[in-house]
Structure 1
Amino acid sequence: MNRDGTAVRKSLPIELPARLRLANLPTPLQPLSRISERFSYPCGGPRIWVKRDDLTESGMSGNKLRKLEFVTAAATGQGCDTLITCGGIQSNHCRTTALVGARLGLQVQLLLRGGTSEEMDGNFLLDHLADASVAVYLAREYKEALSGLFQYWAEDYRSRGHRPFCIPTGASDGLGIWGYIEASRELMTDCLAYGFEPEHIVCATGSGGTQAGLTLGCHLLETGCKVTGYAVCDNAAYFQAKVREDIRHWCALVGEKIETDALAVCVNADYIGPGYAQAERPVYQTIAEVASLEGLLLDPVYTGKAFHGLLQDLNMGKYAGAKNLVFVHTGGQFALFPYRQHFSFLGD
């Protein structure tokens, strides 16, 4: 039941599009009892749960796989044989796309933002193991010329007789957000099985698609749940606009009408730190503490930053009075290893 006494819708009021079953679903919903006892209950906060989307698969683990179920269905449905996408050098999305392509027998071209001599580590190593073609660009060229780079590589593959399908950053658009529209239904079903409806759902937001899908999904399901994205880059205004842009794109694709300006798009941009993929010592300490308390692995790019921000807000009483909060673990553990030097404090 919603907090106003109305029933939570258990099924989406709209038919899902074509989908390739790639993920191991449903993922578990687990209580974080020791985290709750140490950080939340003393401040009057809720019980903390985690939706384990880091377990969607093994090498393809994380939130990106849910999105790619719908994206690759569209690509193969159009007869495409090549996936072209982009991201940072340690992009979880690019690593997942590379491995999905290998699994489906599709070629993959990655456009990566990085340096001139990147170490073969973490996700970047997995990109190569999956035999993806990799083109690395310096940050300025990547930012200024990304659309042109997509066009260049798409034309290059067409000239060689291939049919490319271009996927935006994080697969975050009106097609990709289907992954978390459907995940919101799965999550609410999980919660109802445990006898509660969460007041809050929290996730890291780096390209906006996961937050857009959860926000729209909770709206379609008519829940009273507030979705908050902890930004790992850019700013709150950017993600508020991006989430609404993705939802408007979804509306255009499916022919639905939703007043996106009326949707509550909640973004916390207080814990970005020095910038994307850059974290300060307290974030690494949070990652270590969560691992030691719950056996849960976070990463310094996405989930570690978001969970660190959540713990700070719990300590300040920002979630006081709520009974249940779900943190959606979007994966990214492979990105721990390239940042190993930041854990030098372990054993002190």
Structure 2
Amino acid sequence: MNKIPPKLNIANLPTRIEKLERLSKELQGPNIFIKRDDETGTEISGNKVRKLEFSVQEALNLGCDVLITCGGIQSNHCRATAAVATKLGLKSLLVLRGSDEGSYDGNLFLNKLLGADIKFITSEEYKNNRLSIMEDLKLSYENKGYKPYIIPEGASNGIGTFGYFNAMKEIISQEKELGLHFDKIIVAVGSGGTHAGLLLSQKILNHNCEIIGFNVCDDEEYFKNRIYNILEESKSIFKTETNISKKEIHIIDGYVGQGYGLCSPENLAFIMDLAKLEGLILDPVYTGKAMFGLAQEIRKGTFNKKENILFIHTGGVFGLYPQKDLFLF
């Protein structure tokens, strides 16, 4: 029997599912539910910790004592990695896209508070050379006597994606407890690992639902290729022959706006309105864009009004604070 790799147990699981009654009513169907993966923890909150449970366990098994990873200057993944490293007595080195302007807010502030080492690089360096930069830093730390372990952006690789393989199993169990079935599962897509894990699990468990991603950067073609490559890597670890074609990877494009981390005025207004409607806080980088896209697609008639839709809240609340001046109260 196929077995998934071993993992740490540091996230608060299972996360609860609740219905967004007022939003469902306002959009006149479908029934919208939300899985609160923003409640996996505080310092380690969000979807990243599910993936880190597998990645960091592998690092520990290899005897590593430094976690090196990368992301944007307000990366939730980097903050979660720093928190996990500190919790386990490891060092962390974060390669961040941006500059050190002496103003620390949101996740960047927490990174410093958690004692992470930080290297800032330009957007061009990040796009073209982030892996080689991390490899050079790994060598530098090895020369100092450390044993580093590199975690890719978002922990979105073969080993990390098993976090959402398990999450799909968790959802299936909760469906039985709640006495309902989710026709669609919606997730923001920023590095592809969450979507890949859900899809792999759904296929292997032969569960009748559709996984739909809303990309928050790049485009549909980029993420179909990215998710497909992650799936191939995961399949080799899991030793399964399950075939998933790129045609089965469903991405709804069109809600990226001006780019990663850049939210339109309409999208920001939606985040404010939803907070007042449901007492639910979304972030402007991931969940705000995905939920905004979902609402727009529901209004367009993309989804059946009688369906049950599960939206996965992947966290990111700390990313709100650096953009607080953009909200018009």
TM-score range, shorter chain: over 0.9
Amino acid at match of 1:16: I
Q: 2 CA distance for matches of 1:321 and 1:118?
A: 49
SS of the residue 1:222 aligns to: coil
Aligned counterpart in structure 1 of residue 218 of structure 2, from 234, 247, 250: 234
Aligned counterpart in structure 2 of residue 57 of structure 1, from 4, 23, 41: 41
Q: 2 CA distance for matches of 1:191 and 1:118?
A: 47
SS of the residue 1:258 aligns to: coil
Amino acid at match of 2:234: W
Equivalent residue, structure 1, for 2:7: 19
Structure 1 stretch 27-36 or stretch 213-222: which is displaced more? 213-222
Deviations 1:238-289 (A, max 9, x none): 1111111101001122222122226610001110000000011111111111
SS of the residue 1:109 aligns to: strand
Change (3 A) 1:152 1:218: same
1:323, CA displacement in angstroms?
Answer: 2.1
SS of the residue 1:260 aligns to: coil
Q: 2 CA distance for matches of 1:91 and 1:116?
A: 14
Structure 1: gaps spanning 5 or more residues: 1-12
SS of the residue 2:69 aligns to: strand
Equivalent residue, structure 1, for 2:287: 303
1:146, CA displacement in angstroms?
Answer: 1.1
Structure 1 stretch 135-144 or stretch 296-305: which is displaced more? 135-144
1:118, CA displacement in angstroms?
Answer: 5.5
Equivalent residue, structure 2, for 1:222: 206
1:31·1:47 contact (CA, 8 Å) conserved in 2? yes
2:220·2:251 contact (CA, 8 Å) conserved in 1? yes
Amino acid at match of 2:17: L
Q: 2 CA distance for matches of 1:15 and 1:34?
A: 41
Q: 2:22 aligned with 1:38, yes or no?
A: no
Backbone CA RMSD of aligned residues: 1.2
1:169·1:207 contact (CA, 8 Å) conserved in 2? yes
Aligned counterpart in structure 2 of residue 135 of structure 1, from 119, 122, 128: 119
Amino acid at match of 1:241: N
Q: 2 CA distance for matches of 1:295 and 1:123?
A: 22
Aligned counterpart in structure 2 of residue 92 of structure 1, from 65, 68, 76: 76
Equivalent residue, structure 2, for 1:28: 16
Deviations 1:282-320 (A, max 9, x none): 111111111111111100000000000001011111112
Amino acid at match of 2:125: E
Change (3 A) 1:307 1:330: same
Change (3 A) 1:97 1:212: same
Alignment of 1:279-290 (within 5 A): 279-290=263-274
Alignment of 1:1-348 (within 5 A): 14-39=2-27, 41=28, 45-117=29-101, 119-261=103-245, 264-343=248-327, 345-346=328-329
1:119, CA displacement in angstroms?
Answer: 2.2
Change (3 A) 1:47 1:23: same
Amino acid at match of 2:220: A
Structure 2: gaps spanning 5 or more residues: none
Amino acid at match of 2:54: F
1:33, CA displacement in angstroms?
Answer: 0.3
1:196, CA displacement in angstroms?
Answer: 1.4
Amino acid at match of 1:281: P
1:16, CA displacement in angstroms?
Answer: 2.7
SS of the residue 2:200 aligns to: helix
Q: 2 CA distance for matches of 1:93 and 1:262?
A: 26
Amino acid at match of 2:297: D
Amino acid at match of 2:19: P
Q: 1 CA distance for matches of 2:42 and 2:181?
A: 29
Amino acid at match of 1:18: P
Amino acid at match of 1:97: T
Q: 1 CA distance for matches of 2:38 and 2:115?
A: 23
What's the TM-score, normalizing by structure 1? 0.92
Q: 1 CA distance for matches of 2:67 and 2:102?
A: 23
1:321, CA displacement in angstroms?
Answer: 4.1
Q: 2 CA distance for matches of 1:262 and 1:138?
A: 32
Amino acid at match of 2:24: S
Amino acid at match of 1:26: P
1:322, CA displacement in angstroms?
Answer: 4.1
What's the TM-score, normalizing by structure 2? 0.98
1:116·1:138 contact (CA, 8 Å) conserved in 2? no
Q: 1 CA distance for matches of 2:212 and 2:176?
A: 20
Amino acid at match of 2:129: A
